[in-house]
Structure 1
Amino acid sequence: MTTELDRAVGTPSQQALTAVPRELAERMRPHLGQMVRDMIVEIQRAVPAYRQPLEGKFGEMLIGGVQMAIEECYDTIGTPAPLRPDWLQFFRYSGKVEFLEGRTMDALQTAVRIGGRVAWRHLSTAGRALGIEPDTLFAAADAIFAYVDELSAVAVEGYTEAQARAGGALERRRQQLLKMILAKPQASRESIAELAVATDWTLPDELVVIALEYRDDQHQLPATALGPQVLVDLESSEPCLVMAAPEVHVPRLASELRGRRAAIGPISPLADARHSLRCARTALALVQRGALPQQPITWCRDHLSTLLLLADEFLAAQLVRRALAPFDELTEKQRDRLTATLHVWLGTSGSINEIANRLDIHPQTVRYRIHQLTELLGDRLNNPAERLNLEIALRARQLLEPRPTA
């Protein structure tokens, strides 16, 4: 990459300008004022972003920039003097101003190119009228366009530097907004709304939080392409996204996951955003250990009963231990058969034939197993509350102790 030091020592434009006779610059100097005026007229005519009164900062930068560019160019013709550092600094600064004023890089580069064409037109017309040799004019043309390329490069560097700095600052504010939304306690709605305006994020009444799997290389991952209405945290140990309208953004999410899984929390009011995140993280953990289906994207809304059941795994384990204690003295094979029968029985209102069909066993086998269950559990099978405890305990055990499928 060319540095300002490199430019101060020697560049293609300098080499080309040095080769042009100094006499040309002196003979052209009386025409420079008209050249400045014509350049400004042409730039404003051809570039809509510059069609505004030449007043204030805008007028100062446009007129001053054109004048400095022309003067530096003609001052350098026929001399070995390096480009002045203040020239480099000015046009780098001009590029920054262009970005901060909201004009595009294309508008900036177009304006510079137009300036170069106007300079050559003046030089060609006046040079012929002054009887300057064609070879000298052609050498001057090469020098001018090399100079224009360099001027454009310096201004573009300033533009991209300001763009990167603004983008970094904006991204930091967006991450701060995400943290404010998910904080416990949450920041005031007024503070969140103020920062949302500053980051151009539409503050929704409802949103979802998406938990993402952590990856060691996530700091090197490219920024997601989900758009400005998605707040992104790929830096923390628990990466996540915050968004409204998940049906709009989620279809594109799969291509952005890059091999990791995600869980989408329930839609919640802004004030409950951290609860959406908690559910999403719980669901993601259950996917990782096999308690929920293995898939790239898991919607919490499809597994609310499971999430509720395992919201407190300690209590769930206590219920399993108490409700299924009568099975402890059985062998593992006996325990599996009887609990499977009990699970189906509780869900089928006691129909022997339906239980037999679901378990693919003979009805007489079902009757024998139910007899065993009656001896183990006694009156608990006739108590609605105890039947509910048994059903919850059986489901909780499946989730807490998932077994690999054959």
Structure 2
Amino acid sequence: MIPDMATSQARRLWFSLPAELARRFRPHADRLATKILDEIQHAVPEYAKPLEGQFGEVIVRAIEQAVLSCLDSIEDTRSTSDHWGRMFHEVGRRVYHDGGSLNSLQAAYRAGGQAAWRYVSSFGQSMRLPVPMLCVSAEAIFAYVDEISSYSVEGYTLAQARATGTLERRRRRLLELILATPPSSPAAVASMAKAAQWEVPEWVTVVALEPLAEEQFPPVLGADVLVDLEGASPCLLTPDPARDLAEMPHWRAAVGPRVRVSDAATSLHWARRTLELVGAGVIPAAPVVHSADHLTALWLLQDRFLLDELSARVLAPFGPLTPKQQLRLAETLLAWVKCNGNTLDIARLLDIHPQTVRYRVAQLGELFGDRLGDPEERLKMQITLEAHHLLGTRPE
């Protein structure tokens, strides 16, 4: 729904500037519009092409109208205020029907706003305008960009919703928007949620799914759940995981952390990573696995390359040993760190004789020397050894 521009924040800011400023700037309007278009085409790859046909006409006309509308607002000329918002709504609709992406459209608005501010700032300094006036101009430019961007977002998402046809497809598209990386704008999510008849909750949990049988039965879920069971990596987004995961006999579920809607992609990332570690045998398999119960494993194993690099540096003294010696001494070193060097505790933990512990600790002393007395080195050793223990790999 397009709001009344007479009450907009941008219009109030523009109107607070002296009318003389608009009259002095009007000769620059065409040049500014050209600068904005050049910056958009330079900064946004999707627009780095000749703007031809009806689509090009809409974009060029919208940029020119944006500049003139700002000047009209300073002079309180309201002749265009009834239709210019609709023009930017039409921009969003046209971009969608021409196959453009919403992210690129929003990037174009940001680039255009930055180009406008650079030009206005240079003009203001050349005219020796007061700093407070330049500050108001900057605030007005970016408030204006936010407003016209929101119209185009609404035009784009409503056109998209009409094109998808069914509520189910709208909700599938909404889920894609919420889980997009980089994140979709709140305006895009809110507009698509409205079209999908989905009330945006404050907190959500994303669950990665894996079918347990060849025949896949859809789970019974609440009406407020967004779900994708047809993609290569099935998942669902729910505001109430306890309710929706109670009965899922045909699926394994890995539950991501509870987050705000804007961080849903992060929840999905850790849910999928949890599912991967279940598949690798690192995390015990269960019908429902919560990432929150395995934070240490997720953190330790989040980057195998860095783990291997750390292992090569920290555990280098194990290199010349045989595989059997490496495993035995790595086990003892990890126990030694955990038990603060207490021989009897280590013996009980490893179920070996205390004298065996003393012998192995002496070997470790020969291999690592003073590093065993360095708290930072001991922490690195424990991190690396714990990761190898989880992976079932040899510390070489």
Q: Does 1:175 align with 2:166?
A: no
Using the TM superposition, give the Cα deviation of residue 222 of structure 1 relative to its aligned residue in structure 2, in angstroms.
Answer: 4.1
Q: Helix, strand or coil: the match of 1:267?
A: strand
Q: Does 1:192 align with 2:189?
A: yes
Q: Does 1:250 align with 2:250?
A: no
CA distance in 2, matches of 1:318, 1:182: 32
Q: Does 1:273 align with 2:261?
A: no
Identity value in percent: 46
Q: Does 1:283 align with 2:278?
A: no
Aligned-partner residue type, residue 188 of structure 1: S
CA distance in 2, matches of 1:205, 1:316: 36
Q: Does 1:362 align with 2:362?
A: no
Q: Does 1:225 align with 2:243?
A: no
Aligned-partner residue type, residue 234 of structure 1: L
Out of 346, 366, 370, the residue aligned to residue 379 of structure 1 is 370
Using the TM superposition, give the Cα deviation of residue 329 of structure 1 relative to its aligned residue in structure 2, in angstroms.
Answer: 1.4
Using the TM superposition, give the Cα deviation of residue 223 of structure 1 relative to its aligned residue in structure 2, in angstroms.
Answer: 3.5
Q: 1:379 to 1:182 in 2, by over 3 A?
A: same
String of CA shifts for 1:205-234, please: whole Å, max 9, x gaps. Answer: 12111111268967xx44431121111101
CA contact (8 A) 2:220 2:244 kept: no
Alignment of 1:320-331 (within 5 A): 320-331=311-322
Out of 216, 226, 234, the residue aligned to residue 229 of structure 2 is 234
CA distance in 2, matches of 1:205, 1:372: 56
Q: Helix, strand or coil: the match of 1:251?
A: coil
Q: Does 1:212 align with 2:203?
A: no
Q: Helix, strand or coil: the match of 2:204?
A: strand
Match of 1:349 in 2: 340
Using the TM superposition, give the Cα deviation of residue 173 of structure 1 relative to its aligned residue in structure 2, in angstroms.
Answer: 0.6
CA distance in 1, matches of 2:377, 2:280: 29
Match of 2:323 in 1: 332
Q: 1:337 to 1:299 in 2, by over 3 A?
A: same
CA distance in 2, matches of 1:360, 1:190: 61
Q: 1:359 to 1:215 in 2, by over 3 A?
A: closer
Higher mean alpha-carbon deviation, 195-204 vs 313-322, is at: 195-204
Using the TM superposition, give the Cα deviation of residue 402 of structure 1 relative to its aligned residue in structure 2, in angstroms.
Answer: 5.5
Using the TM superposition, give the Cα deviation of residue 398 of structure 1 relative to its aligned residue in structure 2, in angstroms.
Answer: 2.0
Which structure 2 segments of 5+ residues have no match? 1-163
CA contact (8 A) 2:274 2:298 kept: yes
Aligned-partner residue type, residue 381 of structure 1: L
Which structure 1 segments of 5+ residues have no match? 1-166
Using the TM superposition, give the Cα deviation of residue 264 of structure 1 relative to its aligned residue in structure 2, in angstroms.
Answer: 0.6
CA contact (8 A) 1:320 1:396 kept: no
Using the TM superposition, give the Cα deviation of residue 200 of structure 1 relative to its aligned residue in structure 2, in angstroms.
Answer: 2.9
Aligned-partner residue type, residue 359 of structure 2: Y
Using the TM superposition, give the Cα deviation of residue 338 of structure 1 relative to its aligned residue in structure 2, in angstroms.
Answer: 0.9
CA distance in 2, matches of 1:216, 1:190: 39
Q: 1:401 to 1:362 in 2, by over 3 A?
A: closer
Aligned residue pairs total 233
Using the TM superposition, give the Cα deviation of residue 168 of structure 1 relative to its aligned residue in structure 2, in angstroms.
Answer: 7.5
Q: 1:293 to 1:168 in 2, by over 3 A?
A: farther
CA distance in 2, matches of 1:216, 1:358: 40
Aligned-partner residue type, residue 329 of structure 2: L
Using the TM superposition, give the Cα deviation of residue 396 of structure 1 relative to its aligned residue in structure 2, in angstroms.
Answer: 1.3
CA contact (8 A) 1:317 1:396 kept: no
Structure 1 vs Structure 2 CA RMSD: 2.4
TM-score for the superposition, normalised by structure 1: 0.54
Q: Helix, strand or coil: the match of 2:166?
A: helix
CA distance in 1, matches of 2:358, 2:392: 28
Match of 2:297 in 1: 306
CA distance in 2, matches of 1:182, 1:319: 32
String of CA shifts for 1:354-374, please: whole Å, max 9, x gaps. Answer: 111111111111111100000
Using the TM superposition, give the Cα deviation of residue 325 of structure 1 relative to its aligned residue in structure 2, in angstroms.
Answer: 1.6
Using the TM superposition, give the Cα deviation of residue 190 of structure 1 relative to its aligned residue in structure 2, in angstroms.
Answer: 2.2
CA contact (8 A) 1:263 1:300 kept: yes
Q: Which runs of 4+ in 1 moved over 6 A?
A: none
Alignment of 1:99-114 (within 5 A): none
Q: 1:217 to 1:194 in 2, by over 3 A?
A: farther
Match of 1:315 in 2: 306
String of CA shifts for 1:247-284, please: whole Å, max 9, x gaps. Answer: 222212x32xx1x4221111111111111111111111
CA distance in 2, matches of 1:309, 1:203: 34
Q: Helix, strand or coil: the match of 1:266?
A: strand
